[in-house]
């Protein structure tokens, strides 16, 4: 039984091995079959490609042979015929002079005028070339001619135009001139068109010329006058346009504007076109001037802006206070609120006058505010470290006025003359504090309490001309740098300080930390406020574990309590509250 149990793993391993070998053998067989099929397909594909290529090349070669055979067949026939005639000429010498002369004549006639003779061959080759050249010449001659569209109106040709669009433009022009007629007369403007070759005596007409011809071809009473067009629209016709131009120019010259302006002009484009017009559309010059220089009043609304007053709105729209009160009876305040809807009375000219004023404006740029944590402040203290200041920007602005009312403004150039100063708010992270039973210190706080705990055991000067502040604490308590600076001395001091660290704060101030049990800072090391520099000890001239903290300015010792503050930030209230 034990022997069979020992053989079981061997049998299982053997069967697994056999199955694995069979599996890989079948896999390899299938892989070989697939590769063989792929290779066979590739060979058949290449064979097909080469077969088709050979067939194409054979077809091209046969075509070349056929073309060459066709091109040279007449030459071969001619050579064969000439050889036969030449043999006849040689044989005819034996038959006498008459037979010889006849043979030579037949040879020459066949060589020159025969079916395959020189003249016949030259004719066959040159005629296609001559035909093509003749056809090209006809095309070039036709393309060199100038064509136009002849307009047939009321049964007669009135002119030639370049395109039907010219007639459509002329038709619109005639419609404008007719539309002014108060008698509602209509003119049939239908026309027929035909293509015509333009001769030296013919000239293409413009749309305005065609419009004159169409009116002349009608049965209406016409007259030659000057048409007045505003932005391309026909307004009226006058006999003397100079009077109109002078009146409009005088209006611009006498237009009153406070301050300096530029580009004083009419808002609309005014054009004068001489032509044929209906007599009914021609106005006297005086009524035409009165119409063009007239103005009307219309009611509108204005959304008040911050800083607007009743007087400023009246000045903006050239209104009287009485008119303002009539339109806004429920508004008695002189100062308007931003967003308030105000009824106004606008003066609208038939031909508005526009001008541009340039202003230099000063605007202020908002400053950003950033907050960051700093060990220069005690925990819980939040104060402004750098006061934010708005920037200044000078802009050159162009304001467009229409009839004295601002319609648009555009900033031409802006220059920042003063960059905004980012306001920096510090959030204190310095957490070193004296023991709760230590009396409070209310100095400036520009230096941090240097011990993690402790209490004041001896003050500045005291009764022994003490040069610093003694802070008692358990030996080994952490000592921190009171402010940022560079370590200028670290280690044993034989003058009574024992193990000590001296930091230069690079602003005239230096601090000394004496009687340490261990020094963690090194000379020339840069340290920040709150950075660990040593541990409280009892080395040097000391009577108990404490830290002698000394503050010097320009070599003179000052009371350290003037620079410490253990009150600010001790509560958990909102510093902004």
Q: Hey, where are the domains in the chain?
A: 19-144, 149-292, 297-349, 356-425, 432-562
Measured CA to CA in angstroms, residue 462 lies from 443, 457, 465, 469 at distances of 18, 11, 6, 9
Q: How far is CA 103 from CA 80, 97, 130, 296, 535, in A?
A: 16, 10, 35, 114, 145
* pTM (two decimals): 0.46
pLDDT at position 193 is: 66
Assigned token pair, 198: 């333009």
Domain at 356-425: CATH architecture: Single Sheet (2.20)
Helix (H) or strand (E) holding 499: strand 498-504
113 with 156: CB under 8 angstroms?
no
* Long-range contacts (CB closer than 8 Å, 24 or more residues apart) made by 108-113: 110/81, 110/82, 110/85, 111/82, 111/85
CB 555 within 8 A of CB 531: no
- What average pLDDT values come out for the chain (577 residues) when binned by 10 residues? 48 70 76 82 83 84 78 68 69 69 68 63 72 77 68 71 74 66 58 68 76 70 85 87 92 87 91 82 88 84 79 77 80 74 81 90 91 83 91 91 85 91 90 90 92 94 90 96 96 95 96 97 94 96 95 96 81 37
- Report the pLDDT value the prediction gives residue 9, as an integer from 0 to 100: 56
Residue 493 CB partners (closer than 8 Å, separation 6+): 499, 500, 514, 540
CATH of domain 432-562: 2.70.70.10
CA–CA separation, 96 and 104 (whole Å) = 12
Q: For 126, list phi and psi in degrees, rounded to 5.
A: -90, -30
Confirm if 434 and 547 have CB atoms less than 8 A apart.
Answer: no
Question: For residues 247 and 264, what is the distance between their CA atoms, to the nearest angstrom?
Answer: 16
- Angle, helices 97-113 vs 2-92, to 10°: value is 140
Q: DSSP of 38-69, one letter per residue?
A: HHHHHHHHHHHHHHHHHHHHHHHHHHHHHHHH
Superfamily of domain 297-349: LysM domain (3.10.350.10)
Length in residues, the chain:
577
How confident is the model at residue 574, as a pLDDT?
39
- Residue identified by tokens 């003050």 is 459
Q: Which of 357, 395, 397 has its CA nearest to residue 260?
A: 357
């Amino acid at each position: 039984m034990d022997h069979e149990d020992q053989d079981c793993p061997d049998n299982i391993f053997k069967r697994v091995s056999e199955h694995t070998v069979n599996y890989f053998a079948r896999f390899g067989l299938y892989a070989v079959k697939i590769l063989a099929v792929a290779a066979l397909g590739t060979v058949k594909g290449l064979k097909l490609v080469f077969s088709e290529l050979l067939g194409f090349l054979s077809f091209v070669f046969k075509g070349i042979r056929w073309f060459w055979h066709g091109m040279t067949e007449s030459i071969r026939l001619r050579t064969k015929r000439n050889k036969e005639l030449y043999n006849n000429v040689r044989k005819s010498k034996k038959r006498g002079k008459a037979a010889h002369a006849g043979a030579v004549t037949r040879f020459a006639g066949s060589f020159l005028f025969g079916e395959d003779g020189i003249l016949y061959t030259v004719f066959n080759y040159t005629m296609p070339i001559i035909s093509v050249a003749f056809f090209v010449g006809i095309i070039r001659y036709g393309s060199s001619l100038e064509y136009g569209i002849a307009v047939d109106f009321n049964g007669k040709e009135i002119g030639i135009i370049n395109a039907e669009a010219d007639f459509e433009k002329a038709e619109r022009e005639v419609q404008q001139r007719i539309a002014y007629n108060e008698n509602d007369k209509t003119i049939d403007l239908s026309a027929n068109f035909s293509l015509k070759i333009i001769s030296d005596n013919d000239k293409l007409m413009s749309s305005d010329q065609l419009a004159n011809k169409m009116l002349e071809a009608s049965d209406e009473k016409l007259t030659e006058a000057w048409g007045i067009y505003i932005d391309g629209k026909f307004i009226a016709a006058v006999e003397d346009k100079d009077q109109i131009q002078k009146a409009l120019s005088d209006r611009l010259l006498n237009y009153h504007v406070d301050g300096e302006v530029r580009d004083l002009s009419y808002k609309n484009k005014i054009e004068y076109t001489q032509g044929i017009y209906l007599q009914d559309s021609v106005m006297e010059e005086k009524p035409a001037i009165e119409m063009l220089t007239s103005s009307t009043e219309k009611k509108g609304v204005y959304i008040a802006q911050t800083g607007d007053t009743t007087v400023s709105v009246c000045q903006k729209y050239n209104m009287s206070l009485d008119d303002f009160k009539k339109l806004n009876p429920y508004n008695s305040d002189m100062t308007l609120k931003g967003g308030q809807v105000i009824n106004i009375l606008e003066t609208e000219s038939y031909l508005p006058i526009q001008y541009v004023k340039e202003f230099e404006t000063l605007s202020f740029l908002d400053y950003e505010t950033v907050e960051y944590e700093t060990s220069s402040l005690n925990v819980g203290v939040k104060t402004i470290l750098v006061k934010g200041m708005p920037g200044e920007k000078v802009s050159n602005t162009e304001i467009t006025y229409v009839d004295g009312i601002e319609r648009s403004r555009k900033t031409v150039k802006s220059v920042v003359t003063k960059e905004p100063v980012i306001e920096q708010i510090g959030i204190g992270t310095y957490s070193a504090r004296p023991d709760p039973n230590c009396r409070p210190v209310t100095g400036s706080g520009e230096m941090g309490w240097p011990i993690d705990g402790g209490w004041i055991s001896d003050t500045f000067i005291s009764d022994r001309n003490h040069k610093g502040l003694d802070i008692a604490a358990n030996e080994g308590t952490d000592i921190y740098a009171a402010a940022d600076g560079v370590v200028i001395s670290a280690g044993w001091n034989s003058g009574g300080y024992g193990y000590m660290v001296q930091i230069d704060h690079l602003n005239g101030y230096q601090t000394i930390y004496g009687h340490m049990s261990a020094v963690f800072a090194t000379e020339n090391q840069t340290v920040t406020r709150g950075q660990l520099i040593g541990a409280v000890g009892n080395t040097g001239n000391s009577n108990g574990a404490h830290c002698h903290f000394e503050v010097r300015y320009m070599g003179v010792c000052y009371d350290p309590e003037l620079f410490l503050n253990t009150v600010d930030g001790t509560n958990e209230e909102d510093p902004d509250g």
